[in-house]
Structure 1
C-alpha cells in the first residue's frame, strides 16, 4: 500500500470516527433532554398519546447509534487491508446516510438537535465520497468469491412466501392486494432467513417446521399481538381463553405459519432448484442483510396493523417475555436437535399422498378456523370449543407421523413430495374460496389459483416420475431429516 493510499484510508477512518462521535452525542442529548424532546413532539402531534411518544422516543436514535457502532468493527478491517471491510464501509456509510436523512426530514426533534443531525449528515456524505475515491478502491482489489450462491432461488423464495401465506388463502382481497407489500419483507425475508440458518446447521424439513413455529410466535405474538388481544380479528371469541391466550387462534396460526408461511415455500423453491440441493442460497453478508430486512418488515407490520386494527391494546410485559422465550426456545431446538430416522412405511402413489395432505388440510381448517369470524354460540366460550381444537391437533399429529414414515421409505421420491405440497396448497386455497372469499372477483381468483395449483402440481409429479428422472430422486426428500 503506497503513501497516497494510506493517507486516503486515514481520511476515511477519521470520518468514520467523527460520524460515530456525532451519533453518540445525539443519543446522549436525547437522554439528557428527553423531557424537552417529548414536549416538542407533543406540540407537533397534539392528538398523540404521550405514553406512545415516550415508548417510540428511542426507536429513532438507537438504530442510528447501533449502525454507527459497526464502524468500530469495519475500521479495524479497513486498517488491516481486508477487502470485505472496505465493502462493508461502503454499505454502512450509505445506510447511515439514509437513516440520518430520515431523522432530519421527519422533524421529530427540536431545531438545535437537528443541527447535530445536519453535521452528521454532512460527515456521512463526505465519508461516501472519500470511501469511493479511486485511490481508496485501488487499495482493495476485488477478490472473486467462489462460495456457491443462488440469487434466483433466494428471490423466488422471497416472492413465493407472501403469495402462499396471504394471497392464495384469500385473507387479503384483490381490491386491497397492495397490502401484500406491507407483509412481503416479513414473510419473504423471514422465510429466506430461516431457510438459510436451518440449512447452514444441517437441519431438514422437521427442523424447518419447528423454526416456522418460532416464526409464528414472533409474527402473531410479538408483532401483531393477536395471540393475546381481546379484540383483534375477534380471535378471543373463537374459543375459551387460557391465561389471556386466544387458544384456538394460537393453534391455527402456529400450525399455519409453520406449514404455509415457511416450510411449503421453502420446499417448492428447493424443488425448482434441485441441483443446488440444501446448500445455502446466500453468503454471510446476504444472510445478515436478509435478517435485517425481516426485522425491518416486522417493525413495518407492527406500525401498520395493530394501531389501526387494534388501537389502545399493548402487549403486557409478561407476554412479551413469554413469547420471546418460546420463540428462542423453539428456534434453539430447531437448530440443535436432529430427529432420528423414522421407521419406514411403504408410501402410496403420489395421488394418494396428495389426497391425504389435501384432506387433512381441509379438515384442519374446518375445525380450527371459524366461519364468519366466530363460532356458533354453542362453541364460543364453553368447553365444547375444545372438541374441534382437539380434532385439529390430532390431524396434525397423525399427518406428521405418517409423512415421516412414508418419507423414510426407499420408494419416497420428489414426485411424492410435489404431490404432498400440491394437495395441501390446493386444499388451503379451496378453503379460502369457501370461507374467506369476499365477492365474485375473489372467488373467481381463488378458484383459478386452485385449478392452476392442481394442474401445475400434477404435471410436475408426472415429470419427476418419468423414467429419465427416477435415478437419484431420493436426494433431499426425507422429511425425517
Structure 2
C-alpha cells in the first residue's frame, strides 16, 4: 500500500508525463502546419543540402520523440495502478526523451520559435527525470525479483543485430548517414524478433524462417519502400528487363537477401549465443503483440520517410499492391504450416573452416550474379535479356546451397560449430561484397573491412568454444520416478 505522500508524488509524475506529451504533440503539429517555413529555414542554413533529404529529415527527427511521448500515456495508467514495470519504463523513457530533445534543441535544426517549444519540452523532461527518481517515488515501487528466464536479453540482442547485419555490415548505410538507422531499427529489429517468436511457437525450423523472411522482404521492399516496382528508386529498373511492372533482378536479390541476412542468420546467431533457451520463446504474449505492432509501425515509418525523399512522385499501382500483399500473405501461411521432412540420405558435413569458405563463396557468387558492380548497369556487365543468364546462375547457387545444407544438417555429425561456421562464412562474404560494391569512401571501406575481420575472428573464437557434439534437447522438469518398494 502506498502512503498519501507517495500517491501525491506519483500524481506529480503523471502530470509531468501528460505535460510532456502535450508539448510533443504541439511540436509535431507546428512542424506539420509550418513545414514550408521550417524547410526554408533549414535550406537557408545549409544551402548545399538536398531539399528532398531535408524533407525526410524533417519528420525522422520529431516522429521518434512523439512516439516516445505517446508511450508515456500508456504507462501513466499502469503507474497509477502501482505497476513496478511501468515505473521502470518511465525512468528509462524519460531519460531517452531528455537526451533526444536536448540533441534536437542544441542542433539548431529548427527555427528559433520552434526551439522555444523544444526548450519547454526539455524543462518538462528534466523535471520528470527528477520527479520519477525521488526516493519517495522509488520507495513506492520496491524492486521485485524477476523469476522469468533471462530471455529479454536475447530478444534485445536480436532486435539490434538484425538491422546491423542487414544494413550496416553490407555498407548500404554509409557512416555519414548513420543517423538514419533509427528509421530501420523498428522494422528490422521488431520484424526479425516477431518472425522468430511466431516460427518457434509453431514448431518451425530454418525452412520456415526462410519463408517468413521472404514474406518480410515482400512487405519491406514491396509495400513500404515500393522498390520492387518503382522505375526510379535505386536505379533498380535498369538492372534487368522488367516483367509485369516488377524489377526482376532487384526482386530476386532482395527477397533472398532478406530471408537469409535480415531474418534467418541473426536468429540463428542469437540462439547460438543463448543455447540454454534453445528454440523456446523469448517473449510473453503481450510482448509478442507489442513486437508485431512495432514492426507494422516500422513499416509505416519507412513508407512515409524513404520513398518521399528518394522517389518523390511515385505511387505503387493498386494492382501491384494487391499482388504483393497477397503474395506476402500466401508465403506467410505456407511458412507457418509447412514442415520440411528430415533428409533421409544425409551427407557428412565438411569441417567448420571449409564449410565457412563454402558458404562464403556461395554468398559472394550469388550477390555478384544479381547486383551490378562498378560502372555496370546490369549484373556481370551484361546487356538486355542476357542478364537472365547470371540471374539463373544466382538461383542455381541458392538451390545448390539449400540442397547441400539440408543434407549436411541431417547428418549426426552436424553440430553447432557447423551452424556458426556457415553463418560466419556468409556474413564475412556479404560484408566483403559490400566493401566491393557499396563503399565509396576510405572511412567506409576501412569500417567494412574491420567488420569482416572482426566477424571472422569472433566466429573462430566461438567455434573453438562450441561443444563438438550437439547439445541435448532441453526438457521440462520431470517429477522423480517412484522408487521401487522393497520386497
TM-score, normalised to structure 2, is 0.70
Distance 1:424 1:57 in 2: 37
Distance 2:225 2:422 in 1: 30
Residues 3-12 or 367-376, more deviating: 367-376
- Pick from 367, 375, 391: which aligns with 2:393? 391
Gaps in structure 2 of 5+ consecutive residues: 476-487
Inter-CA distance 218–107: structure 2 relative to 1 (3 Å threshold): farther
How far is 1:127 from its partner? 1.9
Counterpart check, 1:205 vs 2:202:
no
How far is 1:55 from its partner? 6.1
How far is 1:77 from its partner? 0.9
SS of residue matched to 1:350: coil
Check conservation: 2:239, 2:378, Cα contact below 8 A: no
How far is 1:363 from its partner? 4.8
Match of 2:241 in 1: 240
Inter-CA distance 418–102: structure 2 relative to 1 (3 Å threshold): closer
How far is 1:38 from its partner? 5.2
Match of 1:76 in 2: 77
Match of 1:22 in 2: 23
How far is 1:431 from its partner? 6.8
How far is 1:208 from its partner? 2.4
SS of residue matched to 1:337: helix
Inter-CA distance 36–388: structure 2 relative to 1 (3 Å threshold): closer
How far is 1:380 from its partner? 3.5
Residues 52-87 of structure 1 show CA distances to partners (whole Å, capped at 9, x for unaligned) of 666665555554444333333222112111112222
Match of 2:472 in 1: 472
Residues 406-453 of structure 1 show CA distances to partners (whole Å, capped at 9, x for unaligned) of 646777554554564466457657877998999999999899789869
SS of residue matched to 2:123: helix
Check conservation: 1:12, 1:130, Cα contact below 8 A: yes
Check conservation: 1:168, 1:429, Cα contact below 8 A: yes
Match of 1:318 in 2: 316
Residues 226-255 of structure 1 show CA distances to partners (whole Å, capped at 9, x for unaligned) of 656767776444322345644223312331
How far is 1:329 from its partner? 6.3
Inter-CA distance 58–236: structure 2 relative to 1 (3 Å threshold): closer
How far is 1:98 from its partner? 3.2
Residues 234-243 or 128-137, more deviating: 234-243
Distance 1:119 1:365 in 2: 50
Counterpart check, 1:344 vs 2:343:
yes
Match of 1:254 in 2: 255
Distance 1:34 1:442 in 2: 36
How far is 1:27 from its partner? 4.0
SS of residue matched to 2:98: helix
Write the mapping of 1:277-316 to structure 2, written as runs, cut at 5 A.
277-280=278-281, 313-314=311-312, 316=314
Residues 58-67 or 430-439, more deviating: 430-439
Distance 1:232 1:36 in 2: 28
Corresponding pairs, count: 462
Residues 159-198 of structure 1 show CA distances to partners (whole Å, capped at 9, x for unaligned) of 86677657877x58xxx98569668767887665444323
Check conservation: 2:226, 2:316, Cα contact below 8 A: no
How far is 1:49 from its partner? 6.5
Distance 1:133 1:414 in 2: 48
Check conservation: 1:351, 1:419, Cα contact below 8 A: no
Distance 2:456 2:76 in 1: 56
How far is 1:348 from its partner? 0.7
Match of 2:478 in 1: none
Distance 2:214 2:234 in 1: 20
Residues 10-43 of structure 1 show CA distances to partners (whole Å, capped at 9, x for unaligned) of 2222222333333344444445555555555555
Inter-CA distance 294–455: structure 2 relative to 1 (3 Å threshold): farther
Check conservation: 2:349, 2:411, Cα contact below 8 A: no
Check conservation: 1:208, 1:262, Cα contact below 8 A: yes
Check conservation: 2:9, 2:137, Cα contact below 8 A: yes
Check conservation: 2:17, 2:76, Cα contact below 8 A: yes
Gaps in structure 1 of 5+ consecutive residues: 476-481
Match of 2:484 in 1: none
Write the mapping of 1:19-418 to structure 2, written as runs, cut at 5 A.
19-30=20-31, 33=34, 37=38, 40-41=41-42, 43-44=44-45, 57-150=58-151, 193-201=190-198, 202=201, 203-216=204-217, 235-242=236-243, 245-280=246-281, 313-314=311-312, 316-318=314-316, 326=324, 330=328, 334=332, 337-342=336-341, 344-351=343-350, 354=355, 357=359, 360-361=362-363, 363-374=365-376, 380-397=382-399, 399-400=401-402, 403-404=405-406, 407=409, 413-414=415-416, 417-418=419-420
Match of 1:479 in 2: none
TM-score, normalised to structure 1, is 0.71
CA RMSD of aligned residues (A): 5.3
Distance 1:259 1:213 in 2: 9
